[in-house]
Amino acid sequence: MLGFLILLAVFVPILAPYNVVQAWNDPGAWTNNPKLAAPEWSEIFSGKHLPRTILLASNGEPGGFDKVRISFNVSGQTYTIVVLRKSFSFQFDTFPSEIKLFMTAVFGNATGTQIRVFWDRPDGQEIHLFDGNPSVRAPYENTYSLTGPSFKDPSYAVYSSVRDWLIAKNVTNQTEWASLYPTSGGIYQNPPQTQTMLMGRLNRTILDPETAEVLKGNYSFRIEFSGFTPTDDANARAVVYGTVFGLAGTDYEGRDLLVALLWGAPVALAFGVAGALASVLIQTILGAISGWYGGFIDEFVQRTADFYLIIPTLPILILLGILYHLGILLILFVLVVFGVVGATTKVVRSIVLQVKEEQFIEAARSYGASRSRILFRYILPRVMPYTFALIALTVPAFIFLEASLSFLGLGDPSLPTWGHILGDAYTQGALFASRAYPTGLWWWVFFPAAGIIFTTVAFALLGYAFDKVLNPRLREQ
């Protein structure tokens, strides 16, 4: 178990370089991923082939959009026409979660510059999706959502195009549409899911997302751009977002949770081991000094330990987190500072008091070994085995602390730790079942939680294993 974790900790930085982690908080870095997608393998539960994300690259990239550009002059007026076209095959059993078109455009004069977007279906139907004016110039992208899951405004162009197309094909009529998709105060109560209409079989089932059947086959985008200067140009890319992604799914920003899960392991390990190692070792040495030298030193260390034991570390950390937004190293530092003396100091002291009376210590005194030599060469080696067990058992405590802080949003904001993800999932209501996600966003919660449990159990088992090895009765054999 532990071996697996350590392997993970070693290989993760190689497999998923740190810059992936740096991009974690950059929403722009994750636009090609579906949001809140379940893991790909979860389709075995539904028995359906669930849509993966299809990336349609821009012109110039391999497999990208095809492009024709002509620029010509009529009576002193330059016209530039760009036609972009890309088809793709869609063979999945359910509809994509979202379809987006991203366009870059170079244009001189904004007025009159126009794009017209068409959608061709495997059944030969073509839908004129919308006409628009690009609003930003390259290199920035104009983003058009064809499905607009977050729009409820009935005036959204794609809604009208789809509605008009369905009416033209006699699938529905104005009144039925209005009753199926009622509006109130100028917004849809329950907006039509355009992706089902764009990609469903053209019959009455298409009106209801529950009954619509996927029309498998080749779809294509066709985009016509027209501008008025010789340098005008346009390019496009599109993403047909799936409903499943990767091994661990995605969160509400479309971030690949696998990255966070994998990176969570080394972070948790490093944090837990470093924290436990530092605090337990310091506590051990102080406890040993306290027990061995006795007297004033003992009194001082023990009273300090008593004091430290009643300091509520977590609330203090929460306070510090709120005030200063500590990075992970600072959190570790604060934890270690608040853990220089504590329970381990007391445990070790009592072990030392016992070891102190053993004959071999007396023997060492008798042949003249100095007090510090006895402490470091005789007593500490005797205590160390217990210390190792304690370290192993303390690691989970540190991992839990970090997770708790991150969960409360007080951890290191720049690192996708397991606690951090759980915190995100919690604030986004991941566990509430919705119509789109009848089982809730289980993967968002399950994997980081499993990671924490796995790691803590691994260390607890290690601790118990140490315990067993160190049990004198077992050791004598």
Residues binding other proteins (CB under 8 A): 358-360, 362-370, 373, 377-378, 381-382, 475-476
**455, 270 in Cβ contact below 8 A?**
no
Q: Whose Cβ is closer to other proteins: residue 155's or residue 359's?
A: 359
d(CA 161, CA 134) in angstroms, rounded, equals: 19
CB 343, min distance to other proteins, A: 24
CB 395, min distance to other proteins, A: 24
Residues facing 237 on adjacent strands: 102
CB 370, min distance to other proteins, A: 8
CB 359, min distance to other proteins, A: 4
Instruction: Give the pair of three-digit tokens for residue 31.
Output: 């636009």
Dihedral angle of Cα 91, 93, 95, 96, to the nearest 10 degrees: -60
Whole-number CA gyration radius for the chain:
32
CB 457, min distance to other proteins, A: 30
CB 363, min distance to other proteins, A: 5
336: left (phi over 0), alpha (psi -120 to 50) or beta: alpha
Instruction: Give the pair of three-digit tokens for residue 360.
Output: 């071999």
Q: Whose Cβ is closer to other proteins: residue 435's or residue 473's?
A: 473
d(CA 57, CA 66) in angstroms, rounded, equals: 10
Q: What element of type H or E holds 184?
A: strand 183-184
Q: What element of type H or E holds 227?
A: strand 217-227
Q: Whose Cβ is closer to other proteins: residue 218's or residue 370's?
A: 370
Cis peptide before 139 (omega within 30 of 0): yes
* CA nearest to 56, candidates 198, 215, 218, 213: 218
Q: Indicate the DSSP class of residue 34.
A: P
Q: What element of type H or E holds 84?
A: strand 77-90
* Residue 219 CA: distances (Å) to CA of 124, 148, 199: 9, 19, 8
Q: Whose Cβ is closer to other proteins: residue 363's or residue 461's?
A: 363
Range 136-148 burial, b when 16+ CB lie within 10 A, else e: eeeeebbebebbb
Q: Whose Cβ is closer to other proteins: residue 303's or residue 373's?
A: 373
If you write DSSP's letter for every residue of 232-282 in order, what string do you get? Answer: -EEEEEEEEE-SB-TTT-B-TT--BHHHHHHHHHHHHHHHHHHHHHHHHHH
Q: Whose Cβ is closer to other proteins: residue 48's or residue 475's?
A: 475
Q: What element of type H or E holds 235?
A: strand 233-241
Residue 346: how many CB atoms within 10 A of its CB? 19
Instruction: Give the pair of three-digit tokens for residue 286.
Output: 């102080």
CB 373, min distance to other proteins, A: 7
